[in-house]
């Protein structure tokens, strides 16, 4: 059973991001892991985070949604959690997948305000999306939609924490940074509570989504220093792998590394790397790209790798297209998850 719990925690890990461009909601872990009515189980359980991730996926109608998790440091020593769960949270913190703070307080609301993401909480039901028990798992109730991303000047800079090993603002993280914590107007590291040094302008980052057969499967960020390869089975570590979602025909026609997207001075660019080519669908025309050819992707353009396998900015499609996304809990041992009737 322990092995199965680890698999669920691994699945949850794949849905954590402190990159505001990738995350779809903000969560206070100390609060969520004590929603005992979600499964009538232990006083605290990390698996409840998985239920909230699932609820967000159903709410948005998307596969693979990610959450921005804020963790009060006291959670790391919460004896209501298993040692396995505490170890997982520590690992996530070390990898910069979650944000651990000496005092989480209202940091979730600050992150929401700076990023435009909704908070998944019961603390202010109505204004926010509250995860509550529903048929077949947690559901989100409330009215908050994602607001437009704020243009706070602190988000336009790259920041450096005095702690060189800092997972959020350390030397290793010069892109995809979380929003800094504003303490009396001074950008600070939420984890180390120290003033951040300004390292210059932040390169622009653009969100893209992959849609296969009408369903949004994955959201990812493209930056100026972060070209992303998309294909059936690309070798690059940070690439987008379409393989699992393709059928016979599309799997044959789409190359292992099919195309590359990157933000340049001119804008968002796509370069074809494939055998069978890529189509850029604009309002006016279809542009066929062959290997080595590069074009700018306009705000409403769609990049087509093969019929039904598409790439575009998130606003291009109103719905994620799926009523029941794949659950991160599907590997959960049934003994740990008793759904309320």
Site of interaction with Zn ion (CB under 5 A)? 161, 163, 166, 189, 191-192
Of 112 and 166, which has the nearer Cβ to Zn ion? 166
Shortest separation between residue 166's beta carbon and Zn ion, angstroms:
3
Residue 28 Cβ vs Zn ion, minimum distance, rounded to whole Å: 19
Nearer to Zn ion, 50 or 187 (CB): 187
The answer to whether 71 and 98 are in contact (CB under 8 A) is yes
Q: Which stretch of DSSP H or E encloses residue 111? A: helix 107-115
Nearer to Zn ion, 24 or 192 (CB): 192
Comparing CB distances to Zn ion, the nearer of 192 and 232 is 192
Nearer to Zn ion, 168 or 297 (CB): 168
Per DSSP (E only), the strands in the chain are 23-28, 66-72, 99-101, 130-134, 137-141, 157-160, 181-183, 186-188, 197-201, 205-212, 215-223, 228-231, 240-241, 259-264, 267-272, 278-281, 286-289, 294-296, 302-306, 309-312
Give the shortest CB-67-to-Zn ion separation in angstroms: 21
CA angle 101, 106, 112 (to 5 degrees): 100
For residue 56, the minimal CB distance to Zn ion (Å) is: 27
Task: Report the SS3 class of residue 326.
Answer: coil
In the complex with Zn ion, the residue whose CB is nearer, 144 or 189, is 189
For the CB of residue 173, give the shortest distance to Zn ion in the complex, in Å: 10
Q: 325 near 63, Cβ under 8 Å?
A: yes
Q: Minimal distance in Å, beta carbon 35 to Zn ion?
A: 29
Cα–Cα distance for residue pair 187/326, rounded to 1 Å = 38
């Amino acid at each position: 059973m322990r092995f199965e719990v680890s698999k669920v925690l691994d699945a949850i890990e794949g849905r954590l991001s402190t990159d505001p461009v990738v995350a779809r909601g903000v969560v206070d872990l100390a609060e969520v892991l004590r929603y005992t009515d979600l499964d009538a189980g232990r006083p605290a359980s990390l698996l409840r985070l998985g239920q909230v991730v699932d609820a967000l996926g159903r709410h948005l109608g998307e596969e693979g949604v990610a959450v921005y998790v804020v963790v009060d440091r006291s959670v790391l020593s919460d004896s209501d959690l298993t040692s396995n769960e505490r170890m997982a949270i520590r690992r996530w913190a070390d990898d910069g997948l979650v944000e651990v703070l000496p005092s989480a307080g209202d940091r979730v609301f600050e992150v929401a305000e700076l990023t435009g993401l909704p908070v998944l909480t019961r603390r202010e039901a109505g204004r926010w999306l509250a995860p509550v028990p529903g048929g077949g798992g947690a559901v989100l109730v409330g009215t908050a939609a994602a607001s437009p991303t704020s243009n706070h000047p602190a988000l336009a800079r790259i920041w450096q924490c005095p702690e060189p090993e800092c997972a959020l603002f350390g030397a290793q993280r010069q892109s995809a940074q979380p929003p800094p914590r504003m303490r009396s107007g001074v950008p600070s590291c939420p984890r180390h509570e120290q003033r951040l040094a300004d390292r210059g302008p932040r390169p622009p980052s653009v969100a893209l989504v992959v849609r296969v057969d009408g369903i949004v499967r994955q959201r990812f960020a493209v930056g100026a220093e972060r070209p992303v390869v998309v294909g059936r089975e690309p070798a690059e570590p940070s690439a987008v792998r379409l393989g699992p979602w393709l059928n016979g025909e599309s799997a044959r026609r789409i190359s292992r590394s099919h195309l590359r997207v990157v933000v340049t001075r001119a804008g968002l660019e796509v370069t074809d790397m494939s055998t069978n080519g890529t189509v850029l669908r604009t309002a006016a025309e279809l542009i066929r790209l062959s290997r080595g050819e590069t074009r700018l992707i306009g705000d409403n353009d769609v990049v087509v790798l093969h019929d039904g396998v598409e790439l575009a900015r998130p606003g291009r499609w109103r719905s994620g297209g799926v009523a029941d996304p794949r659950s991160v809990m599907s590997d959960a041992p049934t003994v740990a998850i008793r759904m309320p009737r």
